[in-house]
Amino acid sequence: GKKGDLAGCRVVVTAGGTQEPIDPVRYVGNRSSGKMGYALAEEARDRGAHVVLISGPVSLPVPYGVELRRVETAAQMQAAVFSAVTNADVLIMSAAVADFRPAHPASQKIKKRLGGGRGAGEGENTGEQATDGSFSLHLIKNPDILGELAQMQDLPRRLVRVGFAAETENVVENAKDKLHRKQLDLLVANDVTRSDSGFGTNTNKVTLFHANGVMEDLPVMPKTGVAAAIWDRVVSLLS
């Protein structure tokens, strides 16, 4: 049976989306609900793993029996992941990490003003308000957590790495590229074009890309079922 097939295993799962502050009341974010990542964490717990769940802000109940570490930004998620993987056997990154963040979050709420000119936020170079009333935000690149982990050669033990990819086009090429560039054992390509799959839904449609070239198209399933299928593959990679 599957019960107990992750006993003694230490796993790290990331879930939800990161929020990158613009000012004290606003952020750049995405539509991740955390459902996929929480399903992965709960399935691993049920199979006997010790689970560290690194979660962006979500409105899901706290799962019992997992070590929950809450983060908001990509930088905080990176620090939490790097610290957790030093004694882990598996990392699954299902979080939707923001690729960019505002360069200098404003310390005061940015005010809209008629006629342009300088205002809160602009002195710190958060962005600029133009005379036509438009506002442009300066964004800079966030760390690529999986990408930087691929460069780290000094992990004390072998880490099985699973990444996700939310693609809207060229799914196969992009998935294969991410699998190799981020040195993953498994890449879960998530269909985000259908209404019963992707961000916020209870069901999901994924294609699995294995490092050895094998590709598996899974049917639409509840996210709990997708989580079980992913852990089945990880268990075979661990043995």
Active site residues: 30
Which is nearest to 103 in space by CA: 136, 127, 123? 127
Considering only the stretches 103-111, 129-137, 157-165, 211-219, report the one whose residues sit in contact with ligand PMT under the rule CB under 6 A.
157-165
Residue 179 interacting with ligand PMT (CB under 6 A) = no
Q: How far is the CB of 86 from ligand PMT (least distance, A)?
A: 17
Contact with ligand PMT (CB under 6 A) among 6, 22, 27, 32:
32
Q: Which of 6, 9, 11, 36 binds ligand PMT (CB under 6 A)?
A: 36
Instruction: Please enumerate in sequence order all residues whose Cβ is within 8 A of that of 83, keeping only pairs 6 or more positions apart, or say none.
Output: none
Is residue 128 near ligand PMT by the rule CB under 6 A?
no
146 labelled as ligand-binding? yes
Strands 26-28 and 100-102: unpaired
Please say whether the beta carbons of 122 and 103 come within 8 A: no
227 closest CA partner among 39, 45, 48: 39
Among 52, 55, 160, 164, binds ligand PMT (CB under 6 A): 164
Backbone φ and ψ for 70, nearest 5 degrees, come out as -90, 135
111 annotated to bind ligand: no
Please report, as ranges, the residues that interact with ligand PMT according to CB under 6 A. Answer: 16, 32-37, 74, 93-97, 99, 142, 144-146, 163-166, 178, 190, 192, 198-200
**Binding residue positions for CTP:** 99, 109, 143-146, 164, 178, 182
